[in-house]
Amino acid sequence: MKLRASDTGRPMVIAGAGQGGLQAAESLREEGWEGGVILFGEERLPPYYRPPLSKDALIEPLDLSTIVLRGPEALASKGIDFRPNTRVMAIDRAAREVVLANGTRQPYEGLVIATGGINRRLPVPGGTHPGVVSIRGVDDAFKFTASLEEADSVVVVGAGFVGLEVAACCAVNNKDVTVIEREARVLARAVSPAISETYERLHRERGVAIELNAAVAEVLIADDKPCGVRLTDGREIRANLVVAGIGLIPCDELAVAAGLACNHGVIVDRCARTADTDIVAIGDCSATAHEPGMPLHRLESVQNALEQAKAGAAALMGKEKPFLLAPWFWSDQYDVKLQIVGSSAGYDQMLTRGDIANYRFSNFYFKNGAFIGCDSLNKGQDHMVARKILDRGLTLTPEQVADEKLNLNSIVKAAAAVAA
């Protein structure tokens, strides 16, 4: 791979000014790029942090200054030319230019596609009514809190992380909440059955009704407002507010039109590279093939956006810095913080440390004797130790986890002492 010069006369261009786009801009500077950096964002705000939008921001009034990651002055001080309200419409790979909504063409030296995703709409009659709320950006959160004030009952469609976080906030706001989930358990795609069971119990204890194996056939509309849902079994659940939390569609349309390989996300390697050496794709809009021919992974998380941005910025400079860390994620619901590292997918042994009844425990997952992941509820220390073990390739055995007297951090310390 050839190193790129630190300034070539053309700027680096980033399409999408979110979590990943900002990190890519800053990482380009850290990697030694001295030329122009242009950060195009179609939203009105500078890059901001989305996780609170389904959590605290639905309980306390949202103060934008607490979620904006860098204001315009901070961006300018790093030589990042931030252009809000500007949508990139097309990529002309032959000319190495992007085309903006007003027809202007902007040449690029390297291009970062960091366009995130949009929320999936409910594919049923009434599902696309503008009164059906789904949360992706700040304006959605403002709209939601305004609607919530006037509502006393809420139906949340989808028991994924965002759906359950919204349900928790509605319950904390003393609303009558029903969650509808097509699968047989909550959080089915993301966690083990044991954690699903725990979260179902947590919500039911707080008065949330959960309908599993239940699909929505129609969003009911009266006086031009959603007023509930009809399920495929004919039951009707009435509510003043209908929320859809049924997942994300990656915004890969720029890449598709430019002839880059996409499959529900722009296909990239572990350095965020596309097949075009001048273009990387990062964050929610990308899908990674860990090895050529291996199944694609699409992670929608802050960590993934940040780490891919670092890898992608380095790749544009001609450096190989793959994102190899174990994936981690968190979710806050009521007073319980879930932290996930690695994966429980395909585990054949699970060991628990802590107090399940009081939502303070960790599940450690093993496959063929190898440690593959850990889910912690209100056990931040376990999460941090598990992360170190996975990131450093250390060995953790089921016997060590089963020995509750053993401080797992001693394994990390012992390995560090050997390495020193």
Ligand X SMILES: Cc1cc2nc3c(=O)[nH]c(=O)nc-3n(C[C@H](O)[C@H](O)[C@H](O)COP(=O)(O)OP(=O)(O)OC[C@H]3O[C@@H](n4cnc5c(N)ncnc54)[C@H](O)[C@@H]3O)c2cc1C
Residues at the contact surface with ligand X, assessed by CB under 6 A: 15-21, 40-43, 50-51, 53-54, 87-88, 114-116, 135-136, 162, 251, 254, 283-285, 300-303, 305, 329-331
Smallest gap from Cβ 211 to ligand X, in A, equals 22
Question: DSSP assignment of 144-183, as one string?
Answer: HHHHHHH-SEEEEE--SHHHHHHHHHHHHTT-EEEEE-SS
142: closest CA among 45, 20, 224? 45
Smallest gap from Cβ 403 to ligand X, in A, equals 32
Neighbours of 219 (CB within 10 A): 23
Cβ proximity to ligand X: between 43 and 278 the closer is 43
Structure tokens at 228: 């509930």
Smallest gap from Cβ 165 to ligand X, in A, equals 7
Cβ proximity to ligand X: between 220 and 309 the closer is 309
Cβ proximity to ligand X: between 195 and 285 the closer is 285
Cβ proximity to ligand X: between 117 and 228 the closer is 117
Residue with structure tokens 């909504």? 101
Cβ proximity to ligand X: between 257 and 416 the closer is 257
Q: At what angle do helices 161-172 and 193-205 cross, to 10 degrees?
A: 20
Which stretches of 313-408 are assigned E, i.e. beta strand?
328-333, 336-342, 349-355, 360-367, 370-377
Residue with structure tokens 């209908």? 242
Question: DSSP assignment of 3-43, as one string?
Answer: PPPS--SSPEEEE--SHHHHHHHHHHHHTT--S-EEEE-SS
Q: Which residues pair with 238 in a beta bridge?
A: 228
Distance CA 359, CA 205 (A): 12
Smallest gap from Cβ 17 to ligand X, in A, equals 6
Closest residue by beta carbon to ligand X: 18
Cβ proximity to ligand X: between 248 and 396 the closer is 248
Smallest gap from Cβ 395 to ligand X, in A, equals 27
Smallest gap from Cβ 301 to ligand X, in A, equals 4
Cβ proximity to ligand X: between 19 and 376 the closer is 19
Smallest gap from Cβ 315 to ligand X, in A, equals 16
Neighbours of 85 (CB within 10 A): 11
